[in-house]
Chain A
Amino acid sequence: MSELTLTVMRLGFLAVLWLFVIVAVQVIRSDLFGTRVTQRGSRREAGRQQQPARQAAPPQQRQQTGGGGRQRRNAPTKLVVSEGTLTGTTVALQGQTITLGRAHDSTIVLDDDYASSRHARIYPDRDGQWIVEDLGSTNGTYLDRTRLTTPTPIPLGAPIRIGKTVIELRK
């Protein structure tokens, strides 16, 4: 066999081998599945309705209690889950009540062995101050390190701990 043919075969084989690797990676790329989060209710984003996201927040009740448009300085604008299985989930604070618990109709469905089915809720009072209230949970809701007994205003950035999940309000 001539030297040239063998060289061509050698390089050709390497090319084919790498082609297989590349095709396999392409298959992985097109093999996405999981959950898709569809945005609703935003006028800006009406054009691009579908946006995949890794973490998914469940459908929220659109309850407009309290002053919807009222915004104070230093008012928190979003709720962020900073620890636990839902880490990274954010929910925009739009004046609606946010319920937390294992019940599947909660705003944030906690997949947490230490959470009760209706564990706590977070809502704004008439002044727009966000309040956290424990709904008689078994293991309690903690703001910083104190267990809640009454509805308590939430300072910006203070950790609210429910079982292994920690959430906080951020600007």
Chain B
Amino acid sequence: MSSTSNTSTHHTSTIGSIGAPSRRNTELALLVFAVVIPVFAYANVGLAMNDEVPAGLLSYGLGLGLLAGVGHLAVRKFAPYADPLLLPLATLLNGLGLVAIWRLDQSKRLSNYAEAAPRQLLYSAMGVALLAIVLIFLKDHRVLQRYTYISMAGALFLLLLPLVPGLGADVYGAKIWIKIPGLGTLQPGEFAKIALAVFFAGYLMVKRDALALASRRFMGLYLPRGRDLGPILVVWVMSILILIFETDLGTSLLFFGMFVIMLYVATERTSWIVFGLLMSAVGAVGVASFEPHIQTRVQAWLDPMREYTLSREGVQDGIVHSEQAMQALWAFGSGGTLGTGLGQGNSDLIGFAANSDFILATFGEELGLAGVMAILLLYGLIIERGIRTSLAARDPFGKLLAVGLSGAFGLQVFVVAGGVMGLIPLTGMTLPFVAYGGSSVIANWALIGILLRISDTARRPAPAPAPNPDAEMTQVVRP
């Protein structure tokens, strides 16, 4: 090895930091784009269904534009270094959701929700208002760390609310709503998601060393000590209890999955993932063996055509048979690669929940594989920005919180999209931002607000290091 060949390996280097630019103008340009696309879609639906540009085009476009503008100004003022993509991506998904809901409102076959789109616009406005509130009042996400155990108690309280007699509302088998007299229904689980992420982040930040280091190695896996298994068991039991008492497979999967993801990120131990998968499989199979509501869902997943036939024949055997799962698959099938065009599909045949749980089927039919892939990519980009934020964050709490929130967001998309497409049993969850539902939209805007706050802190240029008074006075004697 001669010394000349050494010169290709670097030997002396200095580090400078490249600060992230603020990129607010990029965000504004993307936001304009993200408002124009849904307006285009809105006009397209109107032309296809009623042969005219819809009368509400201007007010609808202005409404969405106003939301985007308020969100942008809030970010520009209160989180100037935040990620430039989160807000436009969320706005576009929200806008596309509004178009799809409006399109299903127009359908003659679905008379039960003719006024859903204006209400969804109202919910979106409340969501963006909450985003602004989060950005204004949450100056530093590390403040949340103080409320680790309070947010755990809050999350449990929210989760238990639907079980309170008189307050909970049993909607088609799942008890996940609460009735607020005069205001309508609320799904507290959506807000519990954020509170739980705060709790897990605060808890794991303190306990991660014990969880990561104190373990025995067995067959290539690091087995944690019994006492460290405690918290994961508690969360597991909690999610199983949700599954039993509220018969909500999705929420239970979401919380447990979020915990396992954050545990893995905190400890870098693959064994937690193995344990998590095993435990969720055991839990799901165990509960499914005696809970009829879950059994029906599994039946409809394994053989949707049978459920469809039973539903058509009106078989009365004590179980509610539904043709939704099959109709959703047909919707995807008839969409093909490029879709039938907005407003020209028959996804309204799904009937009940066509604009909430099953809204992806409408996109699948009218935009085809190409459109669904683009929408899934938009979700993927939001998750990617969340994880990038987590990588850039300097404090462990922020890292864990960002990973937890984006992981929960990703899991929710997977659970809904997988359910509608027949990959996993269908669970009653909403597609974030797109599906009709006030709680979901509002909670997810708050989630984006917290991610924006973390990314603002992470990307803000570090202050110049304080001059070290010792540096000049001390002489270092080197050997």
Contacts and interface: CB of A to CB of B under 8 A. Distances in A.
Contact of A35 (B16, B338, B385, B476): B16
A57 interface: yes
Contact of A56 (B2, B7, B13, B37): B13
A105 B475 CA distance: 13
Nearest to B20: A33
Contact of B479 (A21, A40, A97): A97
Contacts of A42: 7, 10-12
A147 interface: no
B85 A16 contact: no
B370 interface: yes
B7 A43 contact: yes
Contact of B20 (A1, A5, A31): A31
Nearest to B81: A33
Given A33-B18, A33-B20, A42-B7, A13 B374 contact: no
B7 A31 contact: no
Contacts of A61: 478
A69 B6 CA distance: 11
Interface in A96-126: 97, 105, 123
B381 A37 contact: no
Contacts of B10: 37, 39, 42, 45, 51, 90, 92
B37 A16 contact: yes
Nearest to B378: A21
B361 to A, nearest CB: 17
B84 interface: yes
B17 A41 contact: no
Contacts of A27: 23, 26, 30, 84-85
Contact of B367 (A14, A21, A105): A14
Interface string B13-56: 11111111101001000100110010011001001100100000
A94 interface: yes
B1 interface: yes
B279 to A, nearest CB: 28
Chain A to chain B: the 5 pairs with minimum beta-carbon distance, closest first: A92-B11, A33-B20, A10-B341, A41-B12, A56-B15
Interface of A: 1, 5-7, 9-14, 16-18, 20-21, 23-25, 27-28, 31-45, 51, 53, 56-63, 69, 71, 73, 75, 77-78, 90-92, 94, 97, 105, 123, 171
Interface of B: 1-3, 6-21, 23, 26, 30, 33-34, 37, 40-41, 44, 47-48, 51, 84-85, 88-89, 92, 338-342, 344, 367-368, 370-371, 374-375, 377-378, 381, 384-385, 392, 459, 476, 478-479
Given A1-B51, A14-B374, A28-B384, 13 more contacts: A9-B47, A10-B44, A14-B338, A21-B378, A28-B381, A31-B20, A38-B14, A42-B10, A51-B10, A59-B12, A59-B14, A71-B2, A77-B1
